[in-house]
Every structure is written in structure tokens, then in C-alpha cells.
Amino acid sequence: MGTLVEPALLLLLWQGVWALDIPLEVRQPPTIIKQSMKEHIVDAKDTMVIECEAKGNPHPIFSWRRNGRYYNVARDPQASMRRHSGTLDIYAWNNPEQYEAEYQCVASNMYGSAYSNKIRLRLYRAPVWPREIIEPVVISAGLPLVLSCDPPPGPPKPETYWMSSCSYARPFNWPIQTAFPTMQPVRQDRRVSMGVNGDLYFSNVLFNDSAADYCCNARLPYRNVIQQKMPVVVKVLTTRSVVESTPSWLLPKGSSSTILVLLGEELLIECIAAGVPTPRITWRKDGEDLVVRSPMKVKNFNKMIQIPKASFEDAGEYVCTAENKLGYIEHTITVQVKAAPFWLERPGDLVLAPEEDGRMVCRSDGAPRPTITWFINGEPTDSSTLQPNVEVSGETLVLRSVTTLNNAVYQCNASNQYGYLLANAFVNVLHATPRILGSRNEYLKIIEGSRAFLDCRFFGSPVPELRWSKYGQGNLEGNRFKTHSNGTLEIKSIEVVDQGTYLCVVSNVAGRDENQVHIEVKEPTVIVTRPTDIKVIRGTDVRFECAVKTDATTPVTTTWLKGTKPVTLGWRISMDESNLVIGNTNPADSGNYTCLVQTELEHKSASAHLMVMDRPDPPTDLELSEPQERSVRLSWVPGNSNHNPITDYLVQYDDDDWLPGKWKNLSLYPGDLNSVTLHLLPFTYYEFRVIAINEIGMSRPSRKSTRFQSSGAPPDVIPKNLKGVGTWRNNMEISWEPLAYREWNGPHLKYLVWWRRRDSREEWKNATTKWSKYYIYDADTFTPYELKIQAVNDFGLGPESPVVTGFSGEDRPLTAPLNLRVSDIESNQVTVHWDPVSRNSMMGELKEYKVCMTVYSVRGKID
């Protein structure tokens, strides 16, 4: 078979071929100039159009073949051909399916017949699933799951994707919010992904997978129509622990498989595995680790290899390995690359004078190598159709000493099992006087140092001789001058001395023709002062400079562009000569600015970037997820940083139902995060907002999040300042500081008070109250009690306080001090002594003894 040559390399072979340009007023066989694609998809609701346009002299007559047989368009009331055209219009009011067929257009005149490709007409079919009830999928956590899509086949083949929350039902475990979840794309990762076949694969299911239903959607780019399959609900049964498992293949099955792809088509190789933990996929090719080079891409979390246009080098054995901590498995995919025929050299039209020789070459390649077949005016070449002076030998058709009997359209067909190529090339035998085609006496202005092309396209038969000269003297060829086969004179790096008048002369045995081209050489335009990049803070004035030097005789205009659009001048943005001035800059002014200098001959440009820094734009789309007893995840979409990196995000909250709008700082997070877990108090309503911070300042606050209530919990704070004090001889008042409302952690807060006599073995007594004090009325007088307390709500008991000691109420002492006596009697003082009252008789805490006295004089009692 030999070595295959890929189409990308063939341009080198075609660069020297001269495209024959025959004036239409010259008699010639037909040439197909426009036709529909080989695979032509139409909508039966519209007029079905199959294009076929051709040129020739006389103008061609058109006919059609359908499924290889003559198609009488005139007798079909639902079809017609356009005037002076072969384009077919099919209206198909009834039974449009009958028009799904293979069509071929034939353009004929007295010199031959040209054939279009065989056009396969197919009707567009919208992707419609049956309206069926899909039973819920019930599956245990940890097991693999495949949700089938089975998209309608088309044509064309639809694009598929998966969405969740399709039925707009609120999942049972969604956090308390004012808005229900809306339909959104299924988030794909190493565990969950969509296969090339459209099915959704779960390597293992988690409880969260039952948070919503799932639906497959199909989109047809042809009509931009989207259809949705009936949603399927997934119910995941939780277990105490998920059983770990070794990897197993979900796609493809078994240990080996084969993929056949055509050269130039997209190659997709994928492996999807099940297992717990989720397996990791790695790739090898032909025994070596896979080297990813452009345009190859590894996508879908390493599960798929994508090659946009397959080449022969992409064939081989690909081995995918799925591995987790319990083991690994391998699958070998053998990729075979075949090729529909492609051109190496396609035959070209021949215009020959009588008795000249000619040759057509039809070279193609493919895998397998194509078979070459020649036709004349659509008929196979054999002894009955070939003239005696025509010889067919494989890829080559040779004509010797041609006559007008050889006028025809020759077809070359290169085909293999994967496709075919069809080329038309005519032989036109005639005598024609040379003529120069195109404009006459052109006046060209050329920039010094550039390359000039002087046009002198011509036609004649036999092929005329061509000669270029300057002022009609000498012959221009070599050094900087080159004459192309189509008559064009190329002058490389033109100089001032090249200015002047050039003459093109064509001649053959039938006559001659000539044309003049005048050249004026201009000085090139140069931007001598170029704008430079500028970085400023908002509010600063900036100036871009752009000084230009150009030919003195050439008018020049200077325009400033922002991106690709002209700058709008006004009070803030103006031009100072060719310079651009922008006052009071703001972030919207940031961008690429281009100084565009234009003359009638050329344009030059120079660009610079303006970066206006400002405080960030506020974050958007705040979203709450993953609600827990004392936390919730807050996510947001970062706002524009305005050209200064965001360093921090400040999360604020409002939890005051009575005075809303009093925002408090919750926490500061690094600027590279946009999803954080917030630690909250239980049983509290929250609203959140986020502020972005950079070196310039703080953004405006974001819009507040939806209102969120954290779950309740038992109290975790101990009431403070617990004490017991008697207010009467047989009671005790137990008091404490009540908990603040934010410390309740749940509804119906109460206090559980405990007490017992100290130094006794009696059981603790308790009582529950919603107040901040409690009275004991059956207490013994001035008795020590051990006290403790704990808060309680509907979710349970809080921690107990440390034990403190309190005393019940006091009473009068039972006895007076005894054994009163005096000593150390002096003239102005005396010492009094007594026996203290016992503790048991004190009936309280001793505060003082009160001493009373009566004063007597020698005459009697004074006081």
C-alpha cells in the first residue's frame, strides 16, 4: 500500500498549480460551482433546498438523478428547479419521508456534462422521548449507579447534558430558605460524570445524591431545540458504614475493546470505573506513560482522552488503569485509524489547441488505498466512450493530438469503503486570440520596501507567451522580479527607482494583447512615539502619546480604539493632536488602547494597556448549603477585582429580629476563597453578606443572603453568680443571672435548680423554673445548703454549675451571754467579760454583742 500522506501536507504540492481562468464568453463545457453537502439535513416544515449551480458556455441545462435513476422534476407537483439554475426546491406538503434519498445533479451543454457529488438528503428529527413514568431508583450507599439517557438518534446527533431538580420539588433535606432550588447542571467530578454515550455514571452513590431528581436533556444545534427526558428520582439508603470495594469497569466492559475512527474525525477514548474509595484513572499508550501534547486533551477528571482530529500517529493500544487502595484493574483499547479518500492531486481543466497533447492526473490516498475510476460525461471509460487518442492508465488520463471530438467533462472517482471523492475536469479544444483579463492601465501607489504585484491575467489558446518590460524596454526577470504562471509580475522590496510604467505583452500564433501598469512609490508611515502601558488609581488623569512620521504627499488620519471599537470622545476623553487624554479615570476605562494611523495605502498601529485600579465590586449570588447543627456553608461569586487582587473577604451577619440591619463582623477569610463554613450559634436566625477587600479599599456589601435558621441544641452556658440567701428564718432564696437570649440554644428555656443540706447524705432535691430565682420554704434555720444549677430547653440539659454553699434564714439567738463580770476598774474605764453564746444557740451568723450600762452617782441613778 505504501506510505500515507496526510491532507495537511498536501498544500505544498498545490502551491505551484495555476488555476485556469477562462472568460465566460469563451465557449466551454460546464463547471459545477456550487452544490449542497454530501450529507444534507433539512427540516420538512421548511422548503427543502438542494443546491446545484454551474457555469458554462452555452449556459448548462440541469437535470437530477435520484437513487441512481432519472428524476423527472417537472412531473412532481411538490418539487421544482429554479430558473437558470439546477437548485432544487422540494415543498413536501404530503409524505416528506419519500424524499429521503440520494440525489445527484447533472449540468450539461453541447460540450459535455458535469456531475455533482451524490447528496444524501435526510430529514431533521427533533429529539423527543416518550412521556413515560420512570420508577424511582432505590440503591444502597456505596454501590455504583448508571442513569441511562438513550437520546433520540436524530439526525443530527443531539448534544446531551444532565440537570438536577428538574421537577422543581423541594428536597426533604434542603435548608430553611425562602426560595426553592431551581434546575441546575449536575456537578461532575471524579465520582460522577457523563459518558460519551450520554449516560450519567456514579462510581459510588452517597446520601447527598438523593437530594434531587435527575433528567437528561438533548439539544439540537440545527434548530436550537432542547428536549427533556422524564426525571428519575434516586433514593439512597444509608447504612452505618459504607463497604469499601475494589475497582470494576462501568465503561467499557471487560478487559479489552476496539475503537475505529476516520482520519480527521474526533477521537474520544474513555474509561469509567466503580469502587469505594472512588478509583483514580491513569493512561498509557503502547506500553509507555501517555504524553499529552496539543491538540490532545485529557478531560472529564482523567476519564477521557479527546483528540479533535485523529491522525495515523494516534493509532495504537491505550491502557487505562483504575486504582484505589484495595487494588487496580486495567482495560486495553485498541485504536484503529482509517481514512476516507483525500486528494493528493486533483485533475484540472485543460484548454488545448488542436493537435496539442494534454494530461490529467487524479491522485488520492486513504486507508485502505482508494480505487480510481474515470468517467467521460458521466459514462464509464471503455472502448465505446473513449476516443482513439485518449488513454487511461490508473491515475493518469493522456490525450494526444487532440481534436474538438475530445471536448468533454471527465470525472475522476476515488473511493474506498469509508467514502469517495468526485472531481470534474473538462477538456476544451479551441483556437483563441490572446486577451488580457481584468483592469486596464492601472495606477498603483506602493509603499517603499513592500512587495508589489502587477496583474496581467490572460487567456488564449495555444497558451500565449508573456513578457514584462519597463517603459517597453528589456525583459524583467530575476533578482527582485518574478513572473508567475498566471501573468502576475512580483517585485520584491520595491524601491524609489522602481517607479514608472510597466508593459505586459501576451502573444501566440493567433495574435497579441498588451496592458500598462503605472507605479508610484511612497515613503512608509512610521509611529515614532508609541504609547506605553499605564497603571493608575481611579480618578487619575492619563495621556497616551502617539507621534507619526509619513510621506509628505499622503494625507494621514489618527484614530484611537479601545479594544476593537473607536473611542468615543467627549468632555472627559479628548485628543490632543494625535495623543489621547483621559481624565478622571474609572475601572470602566481599563483596556487595550490602540493608536491607528491610516493612509490611503496602509495602516500602522501601536497599542498600550490602561489598568485603572479601584476597590472591588461586591460579591454576588450568595448561596447557603450543607446546613449543620452549628454551621452552614456560604458560597459566593467574586466580583470584579478592578485590577487589584482581592486579599480578604469579610463575612458579616445580622441576627437581630427586633432591630434588623445591625450588621456585625463574623470572620475574615483569605481572598482566594469563595466558599467557607460559618460557625454559628444554635437556634438563631441569620442573614449574611460579604465584603471584598483589596489594597485600594473595601467593596460595597453584597446583597444579603436568604434567611437561615440554625438547628437547636441544649444550652452550653452555665448561669452565673449562683447564690443562696435566707430572707426569713425557715426559707432560702436561690438566685442567679439569667442567660441572654443568644445563649438559649433552643425554645422554652428553663432552669433546673438543685439543693441539699451540706454534710448530709440526703438526696439532691430539684425544681424547674423559668425565672431567675427560686425559694425554699421548709429549710431549717441558718442551715448550710449545697447548691447547683443548669439551664434546660426543648433540646436537652445544659452543663451543671459548680457546687456553691448558701444559708437559710436566721432567727433571734436562743440565749443571752452568761457569767457577766468586770475587772480592771479605774476612774474612767472598766473591762467587761462574759461567756460567748454557743453556735447552736446563735441561730445565725454572729454579727456583734451589744453591751448596755447604767451610771450611778453617790446621790443615786443618773442613767
Q: Which domains does the chain have, with CATH numbers?
A: 11-123 (2.60.40.10), 137-237 (2.60.40.10), 245-338 (2.60.40.10), 346-429 (2.60.40.10), 432-522 (2.60.40.10), 526-608 (2.60.40.10), 620-709 (2.60.40.10), 720-807 (2.60.40.10), 818-861 (no CATH)
Q: What is the mean pLDDT of residues 443-454?
A: 93
State percent of the chain over pLDDT 70.
93
On the 0-12 / 13-18 / 19+ scale of CB atoms within 10 A, 764 is exposed
Q: How far apart are CA 62 and CA 114, in angstroms?
A: 10
**pLDDT tops 50 at residue 16:** no
Strand partners, 634: 624, 676
Spatial CB neighbours of 211, under 8 Å, sequence gap ≥ 6: 164, 171, 173, 174
623 pLDDT above the threshold of 50: yes
**How many helices (DSSP H) and strands (DSSP E) are in the chain?**
2, 77
The arithmetic mean of pLDDT across residues 821-843, rounded, is 75
DSSP H or E run through 421: strand 419-429
Query: Given the DSSP bridges, would you call strands 102-109 and 112-115 parallel, antiparallel or unpaired?
Result: antiparallel
pLDDT bracket for residue 814 (50, 70, 90): low
Q: What span, in angstroms and rounded, lies between the C-alpha atoms of 863 and 850? A: 17
Rounded CA-CA distance 177/261 in Å is: 51
CA distance 212 to 231: 10
Bridge partners of 693, per DSSP, are 648, 698
- SS3 for 152-168 is CCCCCCCEEEEEECCCC
- 516 contacts: CB under 8 Å, gap ≥ 6: 440, 441, 501, 502, 503, 504
Strand positions, DSSP E, 168-271: 184-185, 192-194, 200-202, 213-220, 225-228, 232-237, 245-251, 256-262, 267-270
pLDDT tens for each residue of 402-442: 999 999 999 999 999 999 999 999 999 998 899 999 889 99
Q: What is the band of 831 on the pLDDT scale with cuts at 50, 70, 90?
A: confident
Please name every residue paired with 559 in a beta bridge, in sequence order, or none if there are none.
596
3-state DSSP assignment of residue 12:
helix
Q: Which three cell numbers stand for residue 161?
A: 447534558
The 3-class secondary structure across 480-535, one letter per residue, is: CEEECCCCCEEECCCCHHHCEEEEEEEEECCEEEEEEEEEEEECCCEEEECCCCEE
Question: Residue 492's pLDDT band (boundaries 50, 70, 90)?
Answer: very high
pLDDT at 4: 45
Give the burial string for 803-817 (b: 16+ CB within 10 Å, else e). Answer: ebebbbbbeeeeeee
Alpha carbons 312 and 2: distance in angstroms, whole number:
14
In this prediction, residue 710 carries a pLDDT of 85
Ramachandran category for residue 303: left, alpha or beta (phi over 0 → left; psi -120 to 50 → alpha): alpha
For cell 463497604, what's the residue?
A: 243
Q: Has residue 748 got a pLDDT over 70?
A: yes
State the Cα–Cα distance between residues 787 and 816, nearest whole angstrom.
33
Distance CA 852, CA 829 (A): 14
Q: For residue 170, is pLDDT > 90?
A: no
CB-based burial of residue 501 (10 Å sphere; 0-12 exposed, 13-18 middle, 19+ buried)?
middle
Rounded CA gap, 497 and 480, in Å? Answer: 12
Instruction: Copy the grid coordinates of residue 253.
Output: 466492559
Query: Which residue type is seen at 58?
Result: P
C-alpha cell at 830: 472598766
Q: In the prediction, which pLDDT does 5 show? A: 41
pLDDT, residue 181, reads 54
C-alpha cell, 135? 420508577
Phi and psi, residue 553, nearest 5°: -95, 0
Residue 24 scores a pLDDT above 80: yes
Adjacent-strand bridge partners of 432: 461
- C-beta separation of 378 from 416 below 8 A: no
CA 428 vs CA 21, 55, 115, 353, 381: distances in Å: 13, 14, 17, 8, 18
Residue-wise pLDDT for 190-210, tens only, equals 999 999 999 999 999 998 888
What letter does residue 67 receive in the DSSP assignment? T
The overall average pLDDT reported for the chain is 88
In residues, how long is the chain?
Answer: 863
**Res. 6: pLDDT tops 70:** no
What pLDDT, on the 0 to 100 scale, is given for residue 762?
87
177 pLDDT tier (thresholds 50, 70, 90): very low
pLDDT, position 93: 86
Under the banding of pLDDT at 50, 70 and 90, the label for residue 213 is confident
pLDDT tens track for 84-106: 999 999 998 888 999 999 999 99
Pick from 802, 834, 794: nearest CA to 816: 834
Instruction: Tell me how far apart the alpha carbons of residues 38 and 102 are, in angstroms, rounded to a whole number.
Output: 9
C-beta neighbour count of 497 within 10 angstroms: 7
What does pTM read for this prediction?
0.63
Contact in structure between 525 and 505 (CB atoms under 8 Å): no
For 98, other C-beta atoms within 10 Å of its C-beta total 9
Pick from 686, 682, 780, 693: nearest CA to 728: 780
Mean pLDDT of 744-758: 92
Residue 247 has pLDDT above 60, yes or no: yes
Residue-level pLDDT at 859: 59
What's the rounded mean pLDDT across residues 177-187? 68
How does residue 657 score in pLDDT terms, banded at 50, 70 and 90? Answer: low
